[in-house]
Amino acid sequence: MDLPNNSSSLKPVTLLAIESSCDETAAAVIRSSNSNEKTFDLLSNVIATQSVHQKYGGVVPELASRAHQQYIVPVVKEALQVANVTKSMLNAIAFTQGPGLLGSLLVGSSFAKSLAFALDIPLVGVHHMKAHILAHFIEPPYPKFPFLCLTVSGGHTQIVIVRDYLEMEVIGQTLDDAAGEAFDKAAKLLGLPYPGGPLIDQMAQLGNAAAFAFPETNIPGLDYSFSGIKTAFMNFLKNNEQKNPDFAKDHLPDICASIQHTLVNMLVGKLEQAIDQTNITEVAIAGGVSANSGLRKVLQTNASNYGWNLYIPKLAYCTDNAAMIAAAGFFQYIMGKRATLAVSPQPRMPFRES
Ligand code: KG4
Ligand code: ZN
């Protein structure tokens, strides 16, 4: 990446980042490592997870924005305190501009805009999914450009060619449900609390992945579709529960292991196709579902069999966090990419133009 000449970017940067796209209120502070490098140190990373949604089996947008209102000041205060940074030491503020829930995004963006206005410092609007990818630059080892990133979260499933910090191209994506959504919906049908993805993962470790078979949807090209497997899973449970009403309870680990195996197979299949097609063997995964132990294991085995360099983020940087918003904000800031104070959140923020 070429740094712009005569940019303020060459001065050390202390940046506050705010994430509020869904149901985590998060703030982080980073400082550039030294004036010439494109690296930074993470000084704090604070997350308040909203537990209010659990009893509803999914995120309730209205409750999410109220909880963000409640948490945002204490979370930012704590992030500054842990970083040992005062407001006057900040050079820039980054925030999640989208995609996400409008009411949730509004809280973070209004807060970030007000603080940037009060401190008279630059504001940077960040694309949440690009930030998931740039989480790979929070700590070494850093992937080398160009790399492929399978980005799998509760709302998105994408295969992205990452050519540089801010130069990315989506080459495959889901046409309907996201992978995380498929995990969460399967969990809900099994009576597990929200978010069910991590619970399926836990139960799967005790079960037999070959116990039950589900039809994998394989559409042409690098795109995914997860809506068919959701319906197949629903019918599978319904049919078996007609014979044994306790079927799900009696076979929980085997069902979890089998559905996880199928979802992971689908994810890995298209990623391998993308590797073959592009000849790029620097491979990364990002987003909440990249925390899945089954997915990690299969990719680790394949990486050593096929000679890929595989990058898997720390668990704390897979699910939503503000350190990744800080990473994306940092690269945008040093490239001179700023938002104006008239910026507004974009719930469906496009990947390409951002
Ligand atoms: O990236 P993320 O924290 O939020 C979004 O941007 O959506 O991803 C949340 C998703 C949820 O669907 C959650 O169930 C899933 O990530 N998830 C997992 C695991 N940990 C989180 N899915 C499968 N296995 C896990 N270990
Ligand atoms: Zn996310």
Ligand 1 atom at shortest distance from the alpha carbon of 202? 26
Rounded to 10 deg, the angle between the 102-119 and 61-83 helix axes is 30
**Whole-number pLDDT of residue 89:** 98
Alpha carbon distance 330, 92 (integer Å): 9
pLDDT tens per residue across span 81-139:
999 999 999 999 999 999 999 999 999 999 999 999 999 999 999 999 999 999 999 99
DSSP state of 327: H
pLDDT tens per residue across span 155-178:
999 999 999 999 999 999 999 999
Q: Which ligand is nearest to the CA of 184?
A: 1
Ligand 1 mutation target, pool 23, 24, 289, 325, most atoms within 8 A of CB: 289
**Sign of the torsion formed by the C-alpha atoms of 140, 145, 150 and 152:** positive
pLDDT tens per residue across span 237-271:
999 999 999 999 999 999 999 999 999 999 999 99
Ligand 1 atom at shortest distance from the alpha carbon of 24? 3
Q: Given pLDDT bands bounded at 50, 70 and 90, which one contains residue 75?
A: very high
pLDDT tens per residue across span 287-307:
999 999 999 999 999 999 999
- Apex CA 286: angle with CA 45 and CA 301, to 5°? 125
Q: How far is the CA of 24 from the centre of ligand 2 (A)?
A: 9
pTM score over 0.75: yes
Q: How far is the CA of 195 from the centre of ligand 1 (A)?
A: 7
Q: How far is the CA of 128 from the centre of ligand 2 (A)?
A: 6
DSSP state of 60: -
Q: How far is the CA of 263 from the centre of ligand 2 (A)?
A: 19
Q: Which ligand is nearest to the CA of 196?
A: 1
Residue that is written with structure tokens 């319906």 in the block:
231
Measuring from atom 16 of ligand 1, which residue has the nearest CA? 288
Q: Given pLDDT bands bounded at 50, 70 and 90, which one contains residue 29?
A: very high
3-class state of residue 6 by DSSP: coil
Q: Which ligand is nearest to the CA of 291?
A: 1
Ligand 1 mutation target, pool 183, 267, 290, most atoms within 8 A of CB: 183
Greater model confidence, 150 or 51: 150
Ligand 1 atom at shortest distance from the alpha carbon of 155? 7
Q: What is the DSSP string of 101-151?
A: -HHHHHHHHHHHHHHHHHHT--EEEEEHHHHHHHGGGSSSSPPPSSEEEEE
Q: How far is the CA of 211 from the centre of ligand 2 (A)?
A: 31
Q: How far is the CA of 154 from the centre of ligand 2 (A)?
A: 7
Ligand 1 mutation target, pool 149, 150, 153, 263, most atoms within 8 A of CB: 153
The continuous run of DSSP H or E covering 286 comes out as strand 282-286
pLDDT for residue 5 is more than 60? no
Name every protein residue with a CB atom under 6 angstroms from any ligand 1 atom.
22, 153-155, 180, 183-184, 195, 197-198, 201, 287-289, 291-292, 319-320
pLDDT for residue 53 is more than 90? no
Q: How far is the CA of 150 from the centre of ligand 2 (A)?
A: 13
**Whole-number pLDDT of residue 352:** 82
Q: Given pLDDT bands bounded at 50, 70 and 90, which one contains residue 55?
A: confident
**Whole-number pLDDT of residue 277:** 98
> Percent of the chain, pLDDT > 90?
89
Q: How far is the CA of 318 from the centre of ligand 1 (A)?
A: 8
Residues 6+ apart with CB under 8 A from 78: 27, 44, 46
Residue that is written with structure tokens 């205060």 in the block:
77
Which residues on adjacent β-strands are paired with residue 311?
284
Measuring from atom 13 of ligand 1, which residue has the nearest CA? 197
